[in-house]
């Protein structure tokens, strides 16, 4: 929890420095340090000064600020910046797409310092009186405000899951707790979460409730009772703890996991069978209880096999269960490699050897190093000479490895006209080429689709990275004609990515399911820029499970020899699209 608090403070510093017009490299350093702290597997409180200084991007100045926050709960530099920057500007900057320069202009010309006033001004056309703001700018600001409002209600799962897991771990350590589990949309691994539901049964419920409301992350208690206690965390997330009886834990877990639509269908099925199902159990018409201690028992009592939580969205899962058609879903244990990883050659934070060590620790058989190409200069993109240098280092590294393979690769930028950022001669030297769009995401659907189709048409592109370009919570998916992309990807044998980076999850579950229906092969990868971010794989696997994907639908479940064989098979001829 302390890591995230410090990271939030560092990101706020970066925001305020942006408003002040500070050095962009300094701003980026604070943001990178914040990301590193968020992704650490250990708390900074457990780490020595030397261990923190060994982290990429953490110098003596940042170390001093981190330790000050540990001691005092604040950073003096941050407090100083808050005094310098007009109050309200940081709230305006929370609007996706509204940069610091524009926020300052709006403040200076119109005195606007909150989002509601900004929305009114945009709807009334008042913003067009500010230099540089036109009708299109107003529309984009309104769109950003809608995104902001939506994300204040629901947050990306990657922000919520670590918080919930810390609370769950703390509650499980309370003496006398028998069972404790996450429920709700978080257990179904929905990509955005409104609040957290936790179920527990304990010998002494009051002791558990006292421990819950006393957690360091709790800001205030909304309600505290024998059955339900609700709190608000410091970052404004609501967490509900429900105390249930042990013999009803399974039925309560099923009921509070949801979804609402899934549960309605279960109740309808129960009624047809002359049964009643609720959070306490499954009952015959005479009141005899026939299930409830376990979730499996609830579904069994209704004549169904166990339905995994990720499928419980009323998308045909009950009919499939009744007909014996439920897929055997992919699991994290099926993953054999990560094929989208950045190293210190571009904007990653780890050397190749460190990435290999982490991958082997996770039981993988291979990884692909896919640093950015030259056009993405802000990310230290590689030109042809640097790529050849990296290939030589990878070749030397592979000679030392036994039973593990590092594939040379690149994430090549798809330019605005659909051309790739590197010549074919360079791409032909690489094992694994990802093509991605990083700019021009507001172009028309026709142009965006054309760009992806041209990339798919390259004989050397094996995967399209984060195909819709979304970046939660700030940027929605761009307007790509995915149906056309699926057809061409299927025809050429080009894989599409499920990008597991928790702010992307791109393709999402519905798009990934549709891609598989077209016969497209998917690859789940983390887009890791730090070795610890390889742990994001679980978010991508969750998307795949919600998409009903099986092991055979995902290419990086292949063993090393199988994947090498897939790489050797050339793609279909070039697309006819010019």
* Phi–psi pair at 198, nearest 5 degrees: -125, 130
Q: Are residues 494 and 389 in the same domain?
A: yes
Percent of the chain with pLDDT over 70: 98
Confidence of residue 576 (pLDDT cuts 50, 70, 90): very low
Q: Are residues 348 and 318 in the same domain?
A: no
Number of domains comprising the chain: 4
CB neighbours of 553 closer than 8 A, spacing ≥ 6? 330, 516, 521, 522, 544
Q: Are residues 304 and 235 in the same domain?
A: no
Q: How far apart are CA 518 and CA 497, in angstroms?
A: 15
Q: Are residues 230 and 261 in the same domain?
A: no
Taking only the tens place, the pLDDT of each residue in 434-483 is 999 999 998 999 999 999 999 999 999 999 999 999 998 778 899 999 99
Check residue 441 and give its pLDDT.
92
Check residue 573 and give its pLDDT.
57
Arithmetic mean of pLDDT, 515-536: 96
Residue numbers of the domain that contains 216: 156-243
Q: How far apart are CA 220 and CA 513, in angstroms?
A: 41
Q: Are residues 223 and 301 in the same domain?
A: no
Arithmetic mean of pLDDT, 168-193: 97
Q: Are residues 310 and 432 in the same domain?
A: no
Question: Residue 160 pLDDT > 90, yes or no?
Answer: yes
Distances (CA, A) of 348 to 26, 50, 202, 529: 17, 21, 45, 4
Taking only the tens place, the pLDDT of each residue in 491-522 is 999 999 999 999 999 999 999 999 999 999 99
Number of neighbours of residue 31 by Cβ within 10 angstroms: 18
Q: Are residues 429 and 541 in the same domain?
A: yes
CATH of the domain at 184: 3.30.460.10
Question: Residue 41 pLDDT > 80, yes or no?
Answer: no
> Which of 274, 294, 322 lies at the terminal end of a domain, its last residue?
322
Q: How far apart are CA 501 and CA 549, in angstroms?
A: 18
Arithmetic mean of pLDDT, 418-442: 95
Question: Residue 28 pLDDT > 90, yes or no?
Answer: no
Q: Are residues 126 and 217 in the same domain?
A: no
CB neighbours of 437 closer than 8 A, spacing ≥ 6? 413, 414, 448, 451, 452, 469, 478
In a domain, 401, yes or no: yes
> Which of 137, 153, 169 lies at the terminal end of a domain, its last residue?
153
Confidence of residue 87 (pLDDT cuts 50, 70, 90): confident
- Residue 373, SS3? strand
Arithmetic mean of pLDDT, 276-288: 94
Confidence of residue 1 (pLDDT cuts 50, 70, 90): low
* Phi–psi pair at 446, nearest 5 degrees: -65, -45
Token digits of residue 168 = 């769950």
The sign one gets for the Cα dihedral 436, 442, 444, 447 is negative
Token digits of residue 306 = 């166990």
Q: How far apart are CA 246 and CA 281, in angstroms?
A: 11
Question: Residue 524 pLDDT > 60, yes or no?
Answer: yes
Helix, strand, coil percent content, the chain, rounded in steps of 5: 50, 15, 35
In this prediction the pTM is: 0.85
In a domain, 72, yes or no: yes
Token digits of residue 20 = 């002040």
CATH of the domain at 273: 3.30.210.10
Arithmetic mean of pLDDT, 91-118: 84
Q: How far apart are CA 4 and CA 459, in angstroms?
A: 43
Q: How far apart are CA 534 and CA 444, in angstroms?
A: 34
Q: Are residues 406 and 541 in the same domain?
A: yes
> Which of 127, 153, 179 lies at the terminal end of a domain, its last residue?
153
Check residue 343 and give its pLDDT.
95
Question: Residue 577 pLDDT > 50, yes or no?
Answer: no
Taking only the tens place, the pLDDT of each residue in 136-156 is 888 888 888 887 777 677 889
CATH of the domain at 37: 1.10.150.110
> Cis link prior to 507 (omega < 30° from 0)?
yes
Check residue 388 and give its pLDDT.
95
Arithmetic mean of pLDDT, 351-369: 97
Q: Are 318 and 312 in contact (CB under 8 A)?
A: no
Taking only the tens place, the pLDDT of each residue in 163-176 is 999 999 999 999 99
Question: Residue 101 pLDDT > 60, yes or no?
Answer: yes
Taking only the tens place, the pLDDT of each residue in 319-336 is 999 999 999 999 999 999
- Mean pLDDT of the chain, nearest integer: 92
Confidence of residue 575 (pLDDT cuts 50, 70, 90): very low
- Residue 61, SS3? helix
Confidence of residue 35 (pLDDT cuts 50, 70, 90): confident
- Residue 57, SS3? coil
Check residue 151 and give its pLDDT.
64
In a domain, 193, yes or no: yes
């Amino acid at each position: 929890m302390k890591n995230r608090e410090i990271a939030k403070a560092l990101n706020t510093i970066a925001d305020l420095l942006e408003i002040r017009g500070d050095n962009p490299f300094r701003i980026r350093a604070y943001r990178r340090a914040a990301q590193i702290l968020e992704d650490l597997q250990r708390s900074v409180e457990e780490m020595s000064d030397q261990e923190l200084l060994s982290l990429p991007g953490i110098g003596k100045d940042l170390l001093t600020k981190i330790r000050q926050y540990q001691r005092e709960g604040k950073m003096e530099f941050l407090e100083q910046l808050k005094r310098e920057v007009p109050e309200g500007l940081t709230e305006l900057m929370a609007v996706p797409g509204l940069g610091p320069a524009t926020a300052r202009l709006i403040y200076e010309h119109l005195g606007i310092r909150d989002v509601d006033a900004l929305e009114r001004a945009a709807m009334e056309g008042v913003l067009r009186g500010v230099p540089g703001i036109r009708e299109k700018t107003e529309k984009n600001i309104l769109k950003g405000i809608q995104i902001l409002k939506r994300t204040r209600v629901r947050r990306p799962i990657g922000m919520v899951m670590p918080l919930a897991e810390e609370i769950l771990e703390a509650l499980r350590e309370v003496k006398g707790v028998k069972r404790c589990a996450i429920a709700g949309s978080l257990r179904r691994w929905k990509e955005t979460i409104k609040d957290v539901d936790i179920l527990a049964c304990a010998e002494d419920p009051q002791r558990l409730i006292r421990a819950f409301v006393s957690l360091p992350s709790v800001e205030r208690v909304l309600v505290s009772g024998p059955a339900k206690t609700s709190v608000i965390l410091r970052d404004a997330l609501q967490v509900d703890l429900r105390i249930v009886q042990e013999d009803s834990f399974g039925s309560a877990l099923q009921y509070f996991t949801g979804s609402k639509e899934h549960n309605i269908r279960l109740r309808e099925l129960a009624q047809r069978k002359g049964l009643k199902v609720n959070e306490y159990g499954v009952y015959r018409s005479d009141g005899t209880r026939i299930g409830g201690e376990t979730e499996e028992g609830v579904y069994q009592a209704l004549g169904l096999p166990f339905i995994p939580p990720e499928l419980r969205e009323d998308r045909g899962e009950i009919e499939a269960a009744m007909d014996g058609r439920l897929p055997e879903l992919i699991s994290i244990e099926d993953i054999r490699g990560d094929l989208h990883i950045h190293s210190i050659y571009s904007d990653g934070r780890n050397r190749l050897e460190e990435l290999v060590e982490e991958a082997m620790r996770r039981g993988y058989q291979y990884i692909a190093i896919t640093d950015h190409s030259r056009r993405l200069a802000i990310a230290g993109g590689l030109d042809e000479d640097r790529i050849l240098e990296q290939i030589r280092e990878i070749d030397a590294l592979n000679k030392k490895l036994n039973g593990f393979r590092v594939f040379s690769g690149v994430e090549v930028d798809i330019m605005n006209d659909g051309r790739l950022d590197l010549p074919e001669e360079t791409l032909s030297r690489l094992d694994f080429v990802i093509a991605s769009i990083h700019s021009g995401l507001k172009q028309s659907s026709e142009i965006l689709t054309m760009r992806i189709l041209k990339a798919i048409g390259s004989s050397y592109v094996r995967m399209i990275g984060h195909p819709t370009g979304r970046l939660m919570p700030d940027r929605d998916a761009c307007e790509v004609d995915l149906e056309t992309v699926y057809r061409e990807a299927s025809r050429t044998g080009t894989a599409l990515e499920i990008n597991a980076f928790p702010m992307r999850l791109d393709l999402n579950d519905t798009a990934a399911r549709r891609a598989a229906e077209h016969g497209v092969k998917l690859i789940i990868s983390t887009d890791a820029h730090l070795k610890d971010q390889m742990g994001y794989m679980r978010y991508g696997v969750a998307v795949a499970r919600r998409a009903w994907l099986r092991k055979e639908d995902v290419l990086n479940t292949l063993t090393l020899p199988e994947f090498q064989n897939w790489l050797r098979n050339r793609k279909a001829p070039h697309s006819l699209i010019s």
